[in-house]
């Protein structure tokens, strides 16, 4: 069953068309990798899927049963950032009447801390965490409300190889338990290794399919 269907989508900023008649869908349990050169419209696509940008034409269908989680591309969390990793994860608790967490909310936070390998550093201020630890904290925070579709925008971009694999192994574990994943990346090796399906965006032409049909990176696309 599709958790998102995009049909004949066109998005423009004023006269500048960025996405031009794009169709694809994400099914339950897919690990969809989205690849394509800088400026081709990957983040624009995500913004419209999140409802922040109105398409010029076409439709994005998100069934009521789909619960979206999102890890954005950039954050300016410097070493002054005072919240502990645990408190940062807990920030994504649903709006509630009481100013403190209920027992079940606390349990959910602890579960996300544990499942994202953050137990030993949960008290550490997020600002002092390494790049890989920060990404795991962002992941734990996004997964707290139990989404069934997670959008990751370039989450591995600033990480060294070992940390990239650690993060994507974690994501794969959640995917194997039913989470659908949409992972935007410039890293074709990671795309091939972790994706089950791909969406390749290039100016004016798009392709999608099972990962074994991912085209070879075009010059300039591979980073």
Ligand X SMILES: Nc1ncnc2c1ncn2[C@@H]1O[C@H](COP(=O)(O)OP(=O)(O)OP(=O)(O)O)[C@@H](O)[C@H]1O
Q: How many CA atoms lie within 13 A of 170 on its CB side?
A: 25
Locate all alpha helices (DSSP H) within the chain, ordered by sequence: 42-49, 85-90, 103-115, 131-143, 161-176, 188-194
Answer yes or no: are the C-beta atoms of 183 and 152 closer than 8 Å.
yes
Q: Identify which of residues 53 and 163 has a Cβ nearer to ligand X in the complex.
A: 53
99: left (phi over 0), alpha (psi -120 to 50) or beta: alpha
Q: Identify which of residues 67 and 222 has a Cβ nearer to ligand X in the complex.
A: 222
State yes or no: residue 141 binds ligand X (CB under 6 A).
Answer: no
Alpha carbon distance 5, 90 (integer Å): 31
Q: Identify which of residues 9 and 113 has a Cβ nearer to ligand X in the complex.
A: 9
Secondary structure letter of residue 106 according to DSSP: H
Q: Identify which of residues 53 and 128 has a Cβ nearer to ligand X in the complex.
A: 53
State yes or no: residue 203 binds ligand X (CB under 6 A).
Answer: no
Alpha carbon distance 60, 49 (integer Å): 7
State yes or no: residue 33 binds ligand X (CB under 6 A).
Answer: no
Identified binder of ligand X from the candidate list 3, 24, 33, 44, rule CB under 6 A: 44
In the complex, minimum distance from the CB of residue 70 to ligand X, in angstroms, rounded to a whole number: 14
In the complex, minimum distance from the CB of residue 98 to ligand X, in angstroms, rounded to a whole number: 38
Q: Identify which of residues 52 and 100 has a Cβ nearer to ligand X in the complex.
A: 52
State yes or no: residue 64 binds ligand X (CB under 6 A).
Answer: no
Strands 57-61 and 68-71 turn out to be: unpaired
Stretch that binds ligand X, among 33-41, 55-63, 76-84, 171-179 (CB under 6 A): 33-41
The 10-29 site mask, x for binding ligand X (CB under 6 A), equals ---x----x-----------
Angle between helices 103-115 and 161-176 (to 10 degrees): 130
State yes or no: residue 38 binds ligand X (CB under 6 A).
Answer: yes
Identified binder of ligand X from the candidate list 5, 10, 25, 43, rule CB under 6 A: 43
Q: Report the DSSP beta bridge partners of residue 199.
A: 34, 208
Q: Which residues bind ligand X (CB under 6 A)?
A: 13, 18, 36, 38-44
């Amino acid at each position: 069953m599709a958790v998102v269907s995009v049909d004949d989508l066109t998005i423009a900023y004023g006269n500048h068309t960025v996405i031009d008649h794009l169709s694809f869908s994400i099914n339950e349990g897919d690990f969809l990798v989205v690849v394509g050169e800088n400026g081709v419209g990957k983040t624009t696509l995500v913004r419209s899927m999140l409802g922040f940008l109105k398409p010029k034409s076409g439709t994005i269908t998100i069934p009521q049963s789909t619960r979206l989680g999102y890890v954005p591309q950039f954050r300016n969390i410097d070493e002054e950032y005072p919240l502990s990793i645990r408190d940062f994860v807990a920030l994504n608790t649903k709006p509630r009447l009481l100013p403190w967490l209920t027992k079940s909310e606390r349990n959910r936070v602890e579960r996300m801390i544990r499942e994202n390998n953050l137990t030993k550093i949960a008290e550490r201020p997020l600002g002092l965490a390494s790049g890989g630890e920060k990404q795991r904290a962002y992941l734990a925070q996004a997964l707290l409300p139990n989404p069934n579709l997670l959008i990751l925008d370039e989450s591995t971009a600033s990480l060294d190889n070992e940390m990239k694999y650690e993060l994507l192994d974690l994501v794969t574990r959640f995917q194997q338990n039913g989470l659908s994943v949409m992972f935007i990346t410039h890293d074709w090796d990671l795309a091939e290794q972790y994706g089950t399906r791909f969406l390749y965006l290039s100016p004016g032409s798009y392709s999608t399919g099972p990962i074994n049909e991912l085209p070879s990176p075009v010059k300039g696309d591979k980073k």
